[in-house]
Amino acid sequence: MVGNKALVFVAVLAVAFAALNSYVSFQKASQAAQLTGLTGSEGYVNVTVATVVSVNFTKDAVSWGVGSINGGESNATLIVADGIGTAVTRGNWSTTGITPISIVNIGNVNTTLSLSAAKNATTLFGGSVGHRAYRWNITNSDSGSCNPAAFSNATFMDVNTSGYSFCSQFGFLDTQDQINISLLLTVPYDGNAGALTDTITLTAAAA
């Protein structure tokens, strides 16, 4: 009987040690899980900002309609320009509704600008040298819109068929994002007849 009691006591003691060991192991595992949770999490923020180059003709045509040179004159001049308005001399074309071409930067970056015409005075009008002209000027509709070193407001020059880079910084802010293209046409008495048209191309790129 003594031997049996000893065996039972040892068995109970072994079970007690096993239970204690399980409790300690569980506690350590719980503590480890808590420590891991405190040090293993992180946040992440990502944003992509795109640049948009977008320049728009808000007024893209000048159409004088049908007219003729006055009798006894060698040419007629048609002009539409900022600060000058619209006028016809030595001819009878209408000035109603004639305004300059208007360009607005609707993107979110400054751009460079260049213009090219498909025709010049010779190919548009024909006729005698000295009696024909096809010219443009570029002016700031919003002050400070175009800021190159060589930019000259209200100066007419012959159109350029190979490309005229006239603005190195065309602004995108609402108060500095609009320019106008004014036109001066001199129609010769001995030039081409019929509907005479030309296309002006604007090229823009991020500055």
Token couple for 11: 């068995």
Tell me which amino acid residue 103 is.
I
Write the pLDDT tens digit of every residue in 122-155. 999 999 999 999 999 998 999 889 986 445 555 8
Question: CB–CB of 106/173 below 8 Å?
Answer: no
pLDDT of residue 82: 82
pLDDT of residue 151: 56
* Full-model pTM: 0.76
Flag whether pLDDT at 8 surpasses 60: no
The per-residue pLDDT of the chain, averaged, comes to 83
Flag whether pLDDT at 38 surpasses 70: no
Write the pLDDT tens digit of every residue in 72-104. 999 999 999 987 899 999 999 999 999 999 999
Question: CB–CB of 105/177 below 8 Å?
Answer: yes
User: What DSSP string runs through 63-123?
Assistant: ---S--BPTT-SEEEEEEETTTEEEEESB----TT---EEEEE-SSS-EEEEEEES--HHH
pLDDT of residue 202: 94
pLDDT of residue 21: 46
Phi, psi of 6, deg, nearest 5: -65, -40
Cα separation, 3 vs 17, whole angstroms: 21
Q: How many CA atoms lie within 13 A of 106 on its CB side?
A: 8
